[in-house]
Amino acid sequence: MGKPEALAAVLVALASVLGLVSGGNFLEECDATWEPQNCWTYDGGNSLSLALVSNSSGSMIRSKRQFIYGTVSTMIQLVKGDSAGTVTTYYTSSVGDDHDEIDFEFLGNETGQPYTLHTNVYAAGVGGKEMQFRPWFDPTDGYHNYTISWTPCMLVWYVDGTPIRAFRNYEHAHGVAFPTSRPMYAYSSIWAAEDWATQGGRVRADWSRAPFVASYRGIDLDVCECYGGDCVYTCAGAFGACGGLTGDQRGRMRWVQDNYRIYDYCADQEAGKVPGVECTLPQY
């Protein structure tokens, strides 16, 4: 076992010791909102599977609770084998126009090739802040924890307790849009994106292998419930003392970004793309 693989194993074990394994109940916390026939729970509602059976028939769940700020967490085992053309997601999003959204998307690949971990943030309907990674572990071999932390200060994406990305709130200081006023739900889904998901659309889904199944274990929502109105301000007050990452967390995030980041919108030099001011500012 090489150093990256050994460190990954240590981090997974550490996540379990620190209680980062999700354990909430899907039946109590979520509703199936798209193609419920392709979604099933077991283990008393503590485990769940979502299936993609055709290019137009996947599945989605959504949390029953709406919230502003907090932490949402689950354990996922991604589609095994040839997962080309598939996208498995875990994200938060508001509803309506000019929506806010915080994304984890897992872009499938052909057998033997790694997944892409895709992250993005939308604020007031504007996204374009993608950052992508190769996993330093096999996300189809057992369950791994994926966590989104949302506070008035910053967003943080965690994998097995390790922060892989942070996005600080520079809205008031520098005019960078940040999700602060629209309550969100937590979502998970699986769907087909053959035209772009795998190697830019070059590799399509092999539908003879369907159904493609992603499995989940536990969902934890440590959130401030909010359905609009004054709770927007109450929740902001409840999380107003938020701080940044610790020195150890910053070190682990740098390790991931130095070794496994494959795309950063801030470094995209394509014609016409101008990095936002946040790209020049500290993110943690």
What is the DSSP pairing of strand 59-63 with strand 30-34? antiparallel
Q: Which residues contact 30 (CB under 8 A, 6 or more apart)?
A: 48, 61, 62, 63, 64, 186, 219
Type of residue at 237: G
**H or E element: which one contains 246?**
none
- Catalytic, out of 29, 105, 225, 278: 105
Rounded-to-integer distance, Cα 244 and Cα 186, Å:
23
Selection from 199, 189, 187 nearest residue 82 by Cα: 199
Give the helix ranges, DSSP H, for the chain. Answer: 3-17, 26-29, 171-174, 231-238, 247-260
| 105: annotated active-site residue | yes
- Catalytic, out of 101, 110, 171, 225: 101
Residue pair 162/260 in contact by the 8 Å Cβ criterion: no
What residues are annotated to the active site? 101, 105
